[in-house]
Amino acid sequence: MIFKIILLLITLTILSFLIYLLYTEIPSIHEADILSGFIQEEIPEELLNVQTLQFYQNMRFNHIPITYFMAPECSQQRLSNMNLATSMLEEKTSILFRQINSESNADVKVGCDERRYKEEGVFIAGHGGPSLIINATPWSVIKKGVIILFTESCDEIPNIELHEMLHVLGFDHSPNPKNIMYNISSCDQKITNDIIDELNRLYSQEPLADLHLKNVSAVKQGRYLNIRFGIFNRGLLEADNVEVSLYADGVLFKTYDIEEGIDIGAGRYLNVDNLRLPKLSIEEIKLVADPKNYINEINEDDNTVILRQVE
C-alpha cells in the first residue's frame, strides 16, 4: 500500500512537471503580449532644418586633409593658383588640403580639359562639384569630387580655383555679387564670413560613426520572443564589429555580432523568432547597440531601446 502511494506521488510530480514544462515552453498556448518602446531621436538641432548654403544639408568630407590631384595637362600657373586657393581656405577655416600624385587615391581630381572627366558624373554646378555623395542623414558625406578648369583666374585672387573647390565642398551659388560663389566671377569677390562660418561648423565635428536603433517591435508568447529591429549608421565613419545585445529585466540573454560592420548611411534589419527568454515573467526587454562601448560615436544616447508590454 505504501509503495502504491509513493508511486502515485511520483507520477503526480512528473505530470505536474510536464504540465509546467508545456505551459512555459509552448508559445502557442499563451496570449501574445505586444511590446512597445520609445526610440530616442537624438539628432542635434543645429544639424536639422539649417538654412544651408550648400546643395544638401551638412555636406562635408569625413576626413582631413582633403587630397587633390592635378592632371598633367594643367599649366604651372593653374597648379600655383590651386595651391594658393587651398592655402587661403586653410588660413580661414579648420580644413587642410594636400596635393598628391596619385589620381586614383585623390579625393578631388582637377583637370584642365573638359574631355578628361566628362564620364565622371560631375554634379551640375559650374565646372566642379562632388561626384560621389553618401546620404547619412543628417550628414551628406562627400567621398569624391571633380574640378575642371577652363578659364584663367584674376591676378589678385585665384577666384576660379576657389569657386570650384567650394563647389566640391558642397557650396551652391550665392545671390551676392561680392561672394566668391556668385555665378559670374569677378576679381573683387571674397570668401565671405557665412562660408567660413559654415565650413568651421561642419568640420568642428570629429568624424565618428553613429549607430542608431530603429523600427523596433516585439511580441512575447510565454517564454519566447519574436523581435524585429534595424540598426543603422548615420555617422561619418564606418562602424566595425557591431554588437547588439538583448537584456530581459537586466539579464543579458542574447548578443548578435555584425562582424562585417555597417558602412556610412547603411543599416541591417534582424528578424528573430522563438527566442527563448531566461524566465517566463518579464517586465521589460532592453536592446543595446555597442553595449561594451568599443565604437567611438558622435552620439551615444540613442543606442538603447526599452520595450514594455502594451496595456
Angle value at C-alpha 35, between 33 and 37, nearest 5 degrees = 165
Phi, psi (5° rounding) for residue 88? -65, -40
More confident residue, 123 or 278: 278
Confirm whether 233 is domain-assigned.
yes
How confident is the model over 297-307, as a mean pLDDT?
A: 92
| pTM, to two decimals | 0.81
CATH of the domain at 176: 3.40.390.10
Q: What is the pLDDT of residue 18?
A: 45
Query: Contact at 8 Å (CB) between 207 and 237?
Result: yes
Phi, psi (5° rounding) for residue 52? -85, 145
* Number of compact structural domains in the chain: 3
Confirm whether 55 is domain-assigned.
no
Confidence of residue 126 (pLDDT cuts 50, 70, 90): very low
Average pLDDT, the chain: 85
CATH of the domain at 294: 2.60.40.10
More confident residue, 177 or 222: 177
Whether residue 36 is found in the same domain as residue 12: no
End residue of a domain, out of 203, 218, 241: 203
Q: What is the pLDDT of residue 123?
A: 38
Tens of pLDDT along 35-82? 444 444 554 545 445 567 999 999 999 999 999 999 999 999 999 999
**Long-range contacts of range 80-85, CB-CB < 8 Å, 24 or more positions apart?**
81/153, 81/158, 81/160, 81/161, 82/110, 82/158, 82/161, 82/165, 84/158, 84/161, 85/158, 85/161, 85/162, 85/165
Burial class (CB in 10 A: 0-12, 13-18, 19+), 81: buried
Confirm whether 50 is domain-assigned.
no
Which grid coordinates are listed for 306? 526599452
pLDDT at residue 168 is higher than 70: yes
Query: Contact at 8 Å (CB) between 26 and 211?
Result: no
How confident is the model over 124-138, as a mean pLDDT?
A: 81
Query: Contact at 8 Å (CB) between 209 and 239?
Result: yes
pLDDT at residue 229 is higher than 70: yes
Confidence of residue 25 (pLDDT cuts 50, 70, 90): low
Tens of pLDDT along 175-217? 999 999 999 889 999 999 999 999 999 999 999 999 999 999 9
Whether residue 21 is found in the same domain as residue 83: no
Whether residue 285 is found in the same domain as residue 178: no
How confident is the model over 141-155, as a mean pLDDT?
A: 91
**Long-range contacts of range 117-120, CB-CB < 8 Å, 24 or more positions apart?**
117/146, 117/148, 120/146
Query: Contact at 8 Å (CB) between 53 and 171?
Result: yes
Whether residue 132 is found in the same domain as residue 175: yes
Angle value at C-alpha 129, between 123 and 131, nearest 5 degrees = 60
End residue of a domain, out of 154, 170, 203: 203
Whether residue 66 is found in the same domain as residue 199: yes
Whether residue 244 is found in the same domain as residue 112: no
Q: What is the pLDDT of residue 222?
A: 84
Q: How far is CA 186 from CA 105, 158, 159, 181, in A?
A: 33, 10, 8, 10
> What is the distance between the alpha carbons of residues 181 and 199, in angstroms, rounded to a whole number?
14
Q: What is the pLDDT of residue 66?
A: 98
Count of H-run helices and E-run strands, the chain:
4, 14
End residue of a domain, out of 151, 176, 203: 203
Confirm whether 128 is domain-assigned.
yes
Confidence of residue 236 (pLDDT cuts 50, 70, 90): very high
> What is the distance between the alpha carbons of residues 189 and 158, in angstroms, rounded to a whole number?
10
Phi, psi (5° rounding) for residue 5? -65, -45
Residue 102, domain extent = 62-203
Burial class (CB in 10 A: 0-12, 13-18, 19+), 258: middle
Confirm whether 54 is domain-assigned.
no
Whether residue 101 is found in the same domain as residue 73: yes
Tens of pLDDT along 77-106? 999 999 999 999 999 999 999 999 999 999
Peptide bond into 278 cis (omega under 30): no
Whether residue 88 is found in the same domain as residue 213: no
Whether residue 83 is found in the same domain as residue 14: no
Confirm whether 276 is domain-assigned.
yes
Confirm whether 121 is domain-assigned.
yes
Q: What is the pLDDT of residue 36?
A: 42
Whether residue 191 is found in the same domain as residue 219: no
pLDDT at residue 3 is higher than 90: no
Max Cα–Cα distance, the chain, nearest Å: 117
Q: What is the pLDDT of residue 294?
A: 95
Whether residue 199 is found in the same domain as residue 107: yes
Q: What is the pLDDT of residue 309?
A: 82
Whether residue 216 is found in the same domain as residue 163: no
Confirm whether 49 is domain-assigned.
no
